Chain A
Amino acid sequence: MIAKFTVAERQWSLVLLVLTALAGLAMAALGAGDAMGVHGFIVLIVSLGLIFVVGGGLFAPEPTEDRRRAYYDDPIKLGLVLAMVWAVIGMGVGDWVAWMLAYPEARFDAAWSSFGRVRPVHTTGVIFGFGGNALIATSMHVMQRTSRARMAGQVSPWFVIIGYNLFVVMAVSGYLMGVTQSKEYAEAEWYADIWLVIVWVTYFVLYIRTLARRNEPHIYVANWYYLAFILVVAVLHIINNLAMPASLTAAKSYSLFSGVQDAMTQWWYGHNAVAFFLTAGFLGMLYYYLPKRANRPIYSYRLSILSFWGITFFYIWVGSHHLHYTALPHWVQTLGMTFSVMLLVPSWASAGNALMTLNGAWHKVRDDATLRFMFVAAVFYGLSTFEGSFLAIRPVNSLSHYTDWTVAHVHAGAMGWVALITFGAIYAAVPMIWRRETMYSWKLVEWHFWLALAGTMIYVFAMWNSGIVQGLMWRTYNEAGTLQYSFVDTLVAMHPYYIARAIGGLLFLTGAVVGSYNIWMTIREVGHEAKARDVPTDSEAGEPAVPVAE
């Protein structure tokens, strides 16, 4: 890693690291006795470790080759490995909290291990740890290949990936210590949020500078989606996390907004985290790896335009469907519901475009589990966007809201769509990035595929059942005109479904562990393959970056 830096870049990295080490030291000293102090120590230790690494290679000979003639894939490797590490951690914790809901004593006798503190470790671990690392790493792969240009930066890609993971570590360790803003999917406290803004702006600058270097006249569709992901997530993150710290030397802060405005801002954020993190970003992934793997051009350029702008424009309106029948004004609820239903058009346009792309390659879907991951992901994307529009209809929502039906919907999207497209993309990307002939074992990819699919189905069906059962029990009246069931009655009815859900999650987790082993063995055991043409070129010279229609 350091051998590929020029001496100036090594010095520049050292300056950066000394600055972060000082920031960590200040946090550790001033925040002593508070969670902020612990986070300061984490920042300090990570910075010192990296100073050691960079300092150790400071006087190594400079690289002699022309770096612009090769793609820069080393940071991507770190991102992909970290994505799999977070997958196992996040899904492992998720399955643990699932068992906790069936057997509440399945925990340690310590404050940090209660459901309320561990649950955000699961959500942040899978969404931001697994999903975020996969998005950043694949975006660095896609931006270079579709632009036929090397990434515009030698130090900044490392800063983005390491800095981003530092944010996730601060967030997750904070929850266990009781540090949380309580805003779902935005629980991290103010200093971690500020740090993420710095990382994110660097990421955007890296992306836009790489696009500026491109040797293709057009910006490929996948990049539109990655750009939307980066830009809108930045806006959402900044506005929803506006808060007043109680003290600059402690973690606790209070949201700038209160009550109904806070609720609307939170779910504007929350649902657009679904839209621009969990949908737009992963559609970017789909638009590159699916046509590449199938070796088929994207079915329709027009559908791509329609779905991209449809998603970008419609999604932002729909957050208020999380607040049906609440104290949120009726007109905002109605707008959210209306746009949620309209959103089905661009969503299905994307899913349809992906599936139609596979026409002529169905034999590959049958034979190649990697492509099958992406195919099933597109199917789940279509199904869960349909379900999402359906659940956003006010009377349907009266039954589903507050129940496990929402949990079923989220996991159909998160496991069936987001995780499956990610696993497909990672299995496609690992041999390309490490320059291996193939994955270590195609049989293990098959195993992973079926474990993941079975786990998702069991999970989603269990939660559909428990959600609808609970929703119906809550509203059942007896002949005397009073409520038939107490809350505890509904809790007892949930128990078998909670066990089934935890088993489904366990299968899914097992798949992720199998996948991690397979990736590790690919890196360690499989022989190199020199891919002569995988270098930046101007567009006339090389083969097309993605398959094109004749």
Chain B
Amino acid sequence: MIRWLQKLYYPIQAGHYRLEKHSIGLTLAIIFAAMIGGFVEIAPLFTIDETVEEAPDMRLYTPLEQAGRDIYIREGCYACHSQMIRTLVDEVDRYGAYSLAVESKYDHPMLWGSKRTGPDLARLGGKYSDDWHVAHLIDPRAVVPESVMPHYAFLAQRRLETESLPARLAALGKVGVPYDAAMIENAERDARGQANPDSDDAGGVAERYGEATQIRPFDGDTARLTEMDALVAYLQILGKLTDAASRIETAAIEADMEAAQ
């Protein structure tokens, strides 16, 4: 065995002895050796259909929610909050049904996170009231005394910049999110309308993004469209773009019960 290995080894060493005299050869060998793994693991994710589940009910982020998502990214919320419930029983008990790939299909970039200094937010939508979110963002320790979260009171004062929303939606369209021309064209109106149900702009939001779209003054004030409106709108949609996860969970529970019978 050892002798056999030695026989194998000497030509390798002799080959290497030659290779390390050639800088370009070494360069090509490094690139080749280092690219195999990445290619094998990443390329099939784009081609194998089962990688991302089908969810016909999956809806897009509205312009206001996307603006909120951009604020979430800007403030680095992902550094402390994950958006990925793992397939572990305690996580499902704590946060809800485990996350599916399809749920972040339109997330450019994904915000799965890597550290939970704060809790997971994948299914935060609808768990707390808008008022709770606003109060918590303005002063986290007024709501949760032990919290170490930074306060974001300035969001309630800052006007939401909507002028660039059409361009932002168009860019997302170019990388594969199916925003149509009307959505891009009306992005600013829809952002205003979603936070002001009594205005003329509100009707178009439900028309373009579905009747289930949450249309209300998220920061409690219809007079101004603030960054707080956008961020709370985003937090309230987390986990609610599709019902696929709860459908799969219900089906699994039913299958378990049938098996038990």
Contacts and interface: CB of A to CB of B under 8 A. Distances in A.
A346 B240 CA distance: 46
A305 B102 CA distance: 43
Contacts of B141: 104
Given A262-B108, A316-B36, 12 more contacts: A117-B76, A227-B30, A247-B167, A255-B108, A255-B109, A258-B177, A262-B110, A332-B41, A403-B116, A474-B91, A475-B88, A488-B144
A208 B27 contact: yes
A261 B45 contact: yes
Contacts of A328: 101
B80 interface: yes
10 contacts: A104-B148, A175-B76, A179-B74, A224-B30, A246-B167, A312-B30, A312-B34, A325-B88, A326-B99, A335-B40
Interface of B: 9, 13, 16-17, 20-21, 23-24, 26-27, 30-31, 33-38, 40-42, 45-46, 48, 50-52, 70, 73-80, 82, 84, 86-88, 90-91, 93-94, 98-120, 140-141, 144, 146-150, 152, 154, 164, 167-168, 170-172, 174-177
Interface string A392-419: 0000001001110011000000000000
Contact of A316 (B37, B48, B108, B152): B37
Interface string A165-201: 0000000000100111111100000000000000000
B110 A266 contact: yes
Interface in A251-280: 252-266, 268, 272, 276
From A107, A326, A332, A336, name the one whose CB has the most chain B CB atoms within 10 angstroms: A326
Interface of A: 100-102, 104, 107, 111, 114-117, 119-120, 175, 178-184, 208, 211-212, 217-219, 224, 227-228, 231-232, 235, 244-247, 250, 252-266, 268, 272, 276, 302, 305, 309, 312-320, 322-329, 332, 335-336, 339, 398, 401-403, 406-407, 474-475, 477, 482-483, 487-488, 491-492
B109 A329 contact: no
Contacts of B30: 224, 227-228, 231-232, 312
Contact of B101 (A116, A231, A259, A336): A259
A116 B79 contact: yes
Contacts of B100: 327
Contacts of B109: 181-183, 254-255, 257-258, 262, 266
Contacts of A231: 27, 30-31, 34
A491 B115 contact: no
A339 B37 contact: yes
